Amino acid sequence: MDYFFIGTSLIKIVCLLGFVLGLMNYAVYAERRVSALIQDRLGPNRVGPAGLLQPIADAGKFLLKEQFTPAHVNKLYYWLAPCLAMVPPVITIAVVPFGSTLFGVPMVIADINVGILFVFAIASLGVYGIVLGGWASNSKYPFLGGVRSSSQMISYELSLGLAVIPIFLLVGNLRLTSVVQYQIDHGWLIAPFIGDWTNLGKWLLAIPMFISFLVFIIAVLAETNRLPFDLPEAEQELAGGYHTEYASMKFGLFFLGEYIAMITGSGIIVTLFFGGWHLPGIPDGSHGWIFGLINIAVFFAKVAALIFLFMWVRWTLPRFRWDQLMRLGWLFFFEIALVNIFVVAIILIYFHL
């Protein structure tokens, strides 16, 4: 047995999971601060300096509240649903390269050759927790929230999958570390002409790649149930949706799953379009452990910037109506993403890229 591989993998799992859980806690704090800034309020300011201990107080509140289970629910599935909602986004992080190397160890937990397919396969399981929670609650509002979530997932999963096909037509590999390496060699896919300014094909390729980015990031918003796509919760219509009957740590797991899904989605966007851990002019971890740490910091700085964008969208745009959400997914994004694949294929063939 390769004890070194097992040991380093366990260390990476513990460190990454601990960091992501900490980032999730303070993403909630950041969201409160961003919403307060947008709405001209103060935000958290009581617990600790500048309210920085508020996430710890919230965690304590979730853990110490009574674990109340309503009498009318299906108890097994009612308890199982929050776990099913939380686990998939945590597992998905395993294939995302969050750095180059550190002391010669690759900074990815599982570097598999079908990375993006693994992401889609596991991330799509998160909706089962929401649907199961809505059904097991045995109440009309949670049930409607669960039905909405399943319909939304089916509608936007197609656009999400089609949006990444142009990337793999260009890279020729489904491995996420290969996607990052391609961007190191040829420039970030959000702007493929950088570094090759005289190549007309790369300039033309920038248009469909930007369209892929827009479709992908909007589909990720829909997949993570973030505004303006939070129809499964829709407090004004469904009183909280699928988690209406949940309280204490069971509600906390739904809450935790939503924010970890946002962090994971941001990490995948960074990996596919923004060069992953790469920043021009900064060498990788093979040049010293300090550069390995810088690469990890660069990756999470990009993730934090995208999380801020998600928050900005949430507190700026109103919620879609249900028919608008379905129309946008089936009549616009699906067709745009499909045509985009053919456009990229034609550019690649014509310009021999």
For residue 294, give both structure tokens.
């810088």
Are 146 and 133 spatial neighbours (Cβ–Cβ below 8 Å)?
Answer: yes
Structure tokens at 161: 């999958």
Strand partners, 101: 106
Tell me what the mean pLDDT of segment 121-150 comes to. Answer: 84
Q: What is the pTM of this model?
A: 0.92
**Stretch 128-148: mean pLDDT:** 84
In eight-state DSSP terms, residue 242 is G
* Both structure tokens of 37: 């800034």
Give the type of residue at 339.
Answer: V
DSSP, res 321: P
- pLDDT, position 270: 95
Asked if pLDDT for residue 48 goes beyond 60, the answer is: yes
* Nearest by Cα to 46 from 35, 56, 34, 38: 56
The pLDDT of residue 69 is: 80
Q: Specify whether the CB–CB gap between 295 and 100 falls below 8 A.
A: yes
Residues 149 and 111 sit within 8 Å (Cβ to Cβ) = no
Average pLDDT, the chain: 87
What confidence tier does 70 reach under pLDDT thresholds 50, 70, 90? confident
pLDDT at position 95 over 60:
yes
Taking alpha carbons only, the member of 255, 234, 86, 246 closest to residue 149 is 234
Cα-Cα-Cα-Cα torsion 109, 213, 338, 145, nearest 10 degrees, comes to 80
Q: Kind and range of the H or E element at 159?
A: helix 140-171
- pLDDT, one tens digit per residue, over 1-43 is 578 888 888 999 999 888 888 888 889 899 999 999 998 888 8
Give the pLDDT of residue 318: 86
Closest C-alpha to 207, from 190, 220, 195: 190
Cβ neighbours around 39 below 10 Å, total: 9
For residue 272, the model assigns a pLDDT of: 94
Statement: residue 252 has pLDDT above 90: no
Q: Binning pLDDT at 50, 70 and 90, where does residue 265 land?
A: very high
Tell me what percent of the residues of the chain surpass a pLDDT of 70.
99
Euclidean distance between CA atoms 95 and 108, whole angstroms: 6
Band the pLDDT of 96: cuts 50, 70, 90.
very high
192-220: pLDDT as tens digits:
888 777 788 888 999 999 999 999 999 99
> How many residues make up the chain in this entry?
353
pLDDT tens-place string over residues 286-304: 888 899 999 999 999 999 9
Residue 201, token pair as written in the block: 């094909």
Q: Is the pLDDT of residue 257 over 90?
A: no
Q: Which residue has the tokens 């973030």?
A: 226
